[in-house]
Every structure is written in structure tokens, then in C-alpha cells.
Structure 1
Amino acid sequence: MSDLPLVRDMQASAPPVGLALSRAGVTGVQKAIRIRRGDHEILMAAEIDCTVDLARDQKGVHMSRFPELFDEAIDEVVLGQGLLVEVLADRIASQIVERQNALRAEVRIVARWPQRRRTPVTGLETQEIVSLIGIAAAGGKGSRRVVGVEATGINACPCAQDLVRARAYERLEEAGFGADAERILELVPIATHNQRGRGTLLVGTTHELDAEDLSGIVERSMSAPVYELLKRPDELFVVEHAHLQPRFVEDSVRVAIRELLESKPGLDDGDFVLSRQVNLETIHDHDVVAERWGTVAEIRRELQGGEPSIRQTTLEDWLRGLPSA
């Protein structure tokens, strides 16, 4: 019986069009990973995206090898010591470059992290789910990695609150409380419409950062945190707290960046920061979004009164090691 003909390596063959691709790979791969948070290891469900730069003379990448490498890297973590999510992303990206003979690989891991905390008044223990984000890019000149979180909170709209306050003042004057109107408004929370917000904070650095610290920064950047479990005293606290600290979506982005840099003074000038806030509107059919990104040096300079950078360094630029303007 004659031998079967050898199967060709189709991925290494010539493509129909000689054009390099910026990204090619797999997305939405579901895996269970074990991550270290402080002194504890937690098993989490994670979604992994991985891409490589594809040369103009290469038809495709070996897609089946991506999940194999994920499993190898994850098995090392599960069987050995738990890693930080950004370190795991870095490990996978470096292995992809080596195994796929790629010039560059980029990996993004989003894990669902159960965070336990207590309600603000009754002190009941509750579990909140935070997205833990690890991003890494590896190439011939080494690798860069990013750690981040996405957390939920509530924002009370300052604009609507100011309108309600002005109308309430008019009504108090009409009812004969003119002399006491201002004092009454200081004592009574002023109504406004609320927005549930999703805040994201990414930090590109070699320093080890705690995800719980980052999620706290994101939550404090909004008008008030939210809780899965709330008794009536807790609900009253959250509502009053939110209305005493009204914030726009833009305010949350700026506050998060300021607190990050104030609480982490050891961040290097060349490190990267991205703050993003999306608020789900309640009185409009659309949602609202705000973002700021840049190196720590760019942002520090502006916070200290300097002129904004001509071009703010993007996450893509930073991961590729491109110089800022």
C-alpha cells in the first residue's frame, strides 16, 4: 500500500494577495484560570484574545496552536503557583512569538473576579463581580504588559440636579420660604436622574499593582458605589451619597486618573494610563462615554499646569513601544 501524500502546510504557503495583516488570530476563547490576588489563589472564568502580525508572504497563522498554547500556559499556572493576570498574558504572548515565528503577538485576558465586601451601613457581606484585565504584547525587543479593571458604580447628573434645585428654590420662594430657601435646599437632597456607570482603568507598568486598589479607584471616581445586596439603610446611604456627589461621565475619568497618580507616586514617567467611563443613560436613548489615555509623564505635566501633549500616547502606541509626540 503506497504512503499517503504529505499534507502541505497551507498556512505557510503564498497568499492570494501579497499584503501584510495588522492582526490575525483567535478571539473569545473561554478558559478557566487560577490567578493570585495577594496571598490567595482564585479560580476564575476568563476570555482570551490572541493575535499576531502576519507577514505579507504568509497565507495564515496556525489557529489551532493558539488554544494549545493557552492550555500549556494555564496548566503551568493551575498546577504550579498562581500568577497575576497580566503576567499570564505576557507568558502566553512570548510563547506565541516563539512557537508561531511571529514578529509580534498581543494577548488580552478578561477574567471575572468575585470581590467580597460589606454594605456601607448594615455591614452585610456581599459579592461583587469585577472584570480583571491583563494585556501583553511581545516581540523581538521584549514585552510590555498592562493590568486593569472594569467596575460598576452610579453617577448622579449635575446638570439635571442644578435645574431641579433652581426650580425648587422658585417654589419655596412662592410658598413664602424665601428667607430660608437656601438653608432648606442645603438640608434636603436634590433630585436628579441617575446613570449606572462602567469604569475602566488600565495601567501599563512593570510595577505590581493590586486589582482591588484599582477597582476602588474606579468606584470612588463615580458618585457612589453599587452593591448586589442592599438593605434599606444601605439603600438610603447609596442614594444620598450619590446625590451629594453628582458627577458627569467626564468627571469620573479625570478623578480616576488623578487618584491613581496620587496614590501610586512610584509609577514611572514612561508608564501608561487609560481611564474610560461609559454611563448608561436613563432619560435618553443613547449612552455617554469619556476617555483619557497617555503616558504618566504626559498626564503629570498637564495636571501640574503644563500644556497638553500634541498627541497623547495611545495604548497601541505604548504596547508597540512607539515614541510619543
Structure 2
Amino acid sequence: MSELRGTHDMQASAPPVALALSRAGVTRVQKAIRIRRGEQEMLMAAEIDCTVDLGRDQKGVHMSRFPELFDEAIDAEVLGEGLLIEVLAEHIARHIVERQEALRAEVHIAARWPLRRETPVSGLPTQEMVSLIGIAAAAGDRVRRVVGVEATGINACPCAQGLVRDRATERLLEAGFVDGDVTRILELVPLATHNQRGRGTLLVGSAQALDAEGLVAVVEQSMSAPVFELLKRPDELFVVEHAHLQPRFVEDSVRISLKTLLDEQPGLDDADFVLARQVNLETIHDHDVVAERFGTVGELRSELAGGAPVGRQTTLESWLGRDGDAATGG
């Protein structure tokens, strides 16, 4: 045992190849965290990823200490009081920088959050699970934070619905209906198409406090219809009709999500960051489809106002300061 007490710190020794690493750390660490929303606090199961930049002269980081450091940050810094998820990510990132003597640390937290609401027609209480996301990057006394959500909905495919409309028009005309009647009928009757369960993600990097439930609403409204764990028959009819009367491509959802966010949050600064991502799980193909847009609020506002698209959109990594330009958080 005396030999173990004198064991050399291997992580601090010289690496076999003198090359800096962009990331080194741990992923998918399971922790219970206390999150605050308004006046309420809730205990949630969370998954935490944390990485640090590794210098070219350092062999490794103390991987086994990360979960311990998470606990120290949650207990010592938070003192049992619930925080916003992005603020908790900041506390952990700052703690890791200090205790691991790292130049920079990046923390990602994802927690499953129960959202309570009522079904659209019958008004029955139901609970939907969404993902609450907090990200923080700390370098010395500088930090940037991101809050986000991931929610599920339905997208009805416009392309297939257009084909069904054309065929229905042909059949109605062959059956003796006149053009005006055909147009009226197709306006009144929702037309068939294939449905896709969609997963929408919205991330916002800003010093401004944002309500996560409001972000969920933005994501859900960008799709053809929301989904509900509990549905009575009138509710099911509402969701199906609503989806087919509002068909949307995966690309539509991303664009609508960003436009809605900027319209509802005029106080966002031009230097703030936004990312919208939509993944649709196909039903008539053996693949999924995806669309994404990211950039600063200023980049998006300029383009929406008719300006030319930027040559290079700002990425999340760039905004978080992986290029060394992290900003002070608010």
C-alpha cells in the first residue's frame, strides 16, 4: 500500500504525442437534479456530458473525478436550491474549470420534464414528457449559456397530400361534379397523406431569461399538430384533422420555429444564438428526414428582412467560444 501512496499522477505526465485535444471528458453521467421553473421546483433525472480542452503537454484528465465534481457543484454551489437548467450547467462548468485546472469546460445537461396540460376537446388532464436542455461553456471568468427544449409532434406530408388532391379532383370530375363544386369539396374535406412523428429542437443562447414552456409551444406550433399521451375520440379527431389541414415539410417546421421565436422574443440581442432542428420519422420510407438552421439572432433577422444570407452561419460551437472568444454571461 505504501507504493500506491506514492503513485505518480499519470494524467499530468507527458503524452506519447504532443498534440492538444479539442475535447476530453465523460458522457451520459446519470444524476438527479433539482430544477426551478417560476415558483416551482422539481426533481428530475438528468444526463450530463462534460468535457474540457486538453493541452498538448497533458496526458489526460481525471475522468473518474467528473461524477464526484458534478456532485460537489450540485451540492456545494446550488445548496439544494433549484436552479434554471442552464444556470446549473454554468455552475458545473465553472466548478470543473477550477477543480480540474482546465482552460475551458463545456457542460451539456438533458433532463426529462413532465408538462401538464389538457386535451384539446375533452379537456382531460394529461402529462407530456419533453426534454429540457442546458448548455454552458466556461473559460476562466467567462461563460456562455444556452437553454433549449426538444418536443414531439406530427407533421403531415404536403407532397403526398398534393398527389391525393390531384387524384381526388380527377375522380370527382369523372363522377360528374363541376369544377366549382370540386374545389369547394376539397376545401371542406381534409385530404389523406402520410404522417410523420416529428421531434423538434430549439436552442437559445442569451443572457435573457426564457420560459422553457414557451419554447415548447414554439416547437409544437411549428409542426402540423401536437401529440397527446391521452386522447379520447373527439381529441383524436381534432389532432388528425388539424394535422391534415396544416401539412408541413420538415424544412417548414424549422423556418416557422425560428420566425415564431423571433416574433415572440423581440428583446433578444443580435449577438444571441439560436438553433432549430427538426427530425421527422418517416412512415412510407425506411429512413428519416432532418432540417436544421443555426446562427446569431442578427444573422436571422437580417435574412428575414430581405438581406443576403451570410456566407458562413455561426455554429453553436463557435458561439460557445470554442474559438477562444467566449463572452461573459448575464
TM over 0.5: yes
Instruction: Name the counterpart of 1:214.
Output: 215
The structural deviation recorded for 1:73 is 2.0
SS in 2 for 1:23: strand
The equivalent of 2:317 in structure 1 is: 316
The residue that corresponds to 1:99 in the other structure is 99
Partner residue in 1 for 2:302: 301
* TM-score, normalised relative to structure 2: 0.95
1:74 Cα shift? 2.0
What amino acid is aligned across from residue 201 of structure 2 in structure 1?
T
Which piece of structure 1 moves more, 148-157 or 137-146?
137-146
Deviation at 1:78, TM superposition (A): 6.9
Please give the residue correspondences for 1:103-114 in structure 2 after superposition, counting only pairs within 5 Å: 103-114=103-114
- Is the Cα contact below 8 Å between 1:34 and 1:77 reproduced in 2? no
**Residues 12 and 59 in structure 2, CA contact (< 8 A), matched pair in contact too:** yes
What secondary structure is seen at the aligned counterpart in 1 of 2:191?
coil
Q: 1:183 corresponds to which letter in structure 2?
A: R
What percentage of residue pairs aligned between the two structures are identical?
Answer: 77
State the Cα distance separating 1:65 from its structure 2 match.
1.8
Q: In the alignment, which residue of structure 2 is the partner of 1:261? A: 262
* CA 206–184 in structure 1, closer or farther in 2 if over 3 Å, else same: same
Partner of 1:251: 252
Q: Does structure 1 retain, via aligned residues, the 8 Å contact 2:74–2:80?
A: no
For 2:65, the equivalent position in structure 1 comes to 65
Taking the aligned partners of 2:255 and 2:74, their CA distance within structure 1 comes to: 36
Contact 1:106–1:138 under 8 Å retained in 2? yes
C-alpha contact (below 8 Å) 2:34/2:80 kept by paired residues? no
The alignment partner of 1:90 has SS state of helix
Q: Distance in 2 between matches of 1:248 and 1:294?
A: 21
Contact 1:156 1:193 in 2 (8 A): yes
Alpha-carbon distance change, 161 to 319 in structure 1, aligned in 2, over 3 angstroms: same
| Conserved? CA contact 1:278–1:288, under 8 Å | yes
Counterpart residue number, 2:34: 34
Partner of 1:283: 284
Structure 1, unaligned runs of 5 or more: none
Cα distance change, pair 166–64 in 1 and its aligned pair in 2 (3 A): same
How large is the Cα RMSD of the aligned pairs?
Answer: 1.5
SS at match of 1:64: helix
Structure 1 residue 68: deviation in Å? 0.9
Partner of 1:227: 228
Offset of residue 321 of structure 1 = 6.7
1:293 is displaced (CA, Å) by 0.2
Q: Which moved more, 1:1-10 or 1:239-248?
A: 1-10
Aligned length: 323
Tell me what 2:242 maps to.
241
Residues 136-158 of structure 1, C-alpha deviation per residue, up to 9 Å, x if partnerless? 00003500010000000000000
Give 1:311 deviation, angstroms.
0.4
1:90-239 counterparts in 2 under 5 A? 90-140=90-140, 142-179=142-179, 180-239=181-240
Cα distance in 2 for partners of 1:212, 1:67 equals 29
Structure 1 residue 25 corresponds to structure 2 residue 63? no
Whether the aligned pair in 2 keeps the contact of 1:106 and 1:135 (CA below 8 Å) is: yes
Q: TM-score, normalised by structure 1?
A: 0.97
Q: Which amino acid is the alignment partner of residue 73 of structure 2?
A: A
Deviates more, 1:149-158 or 1:65-74: 65-74
In 2, are the aligned partners of 1:77 and 1:83 still within 8 Å (CA)? no
Matching residue of 1:48: 48
Cα offset, 1:187, TM superposition: 1.1
Paired residues of 1:189 and 1:243 also in contact (CA < 8 A): yes
Residue 273 and residue 13 in structure 1: after superposition, are their counterparts in 2 closer, same or farther (change >3 A)?
A: same
On the 8 A contact 2:46/2:111 being kept in 1, the answer is yes
Q: Report the secondary structure of 2:301's partner residue.
A: helix
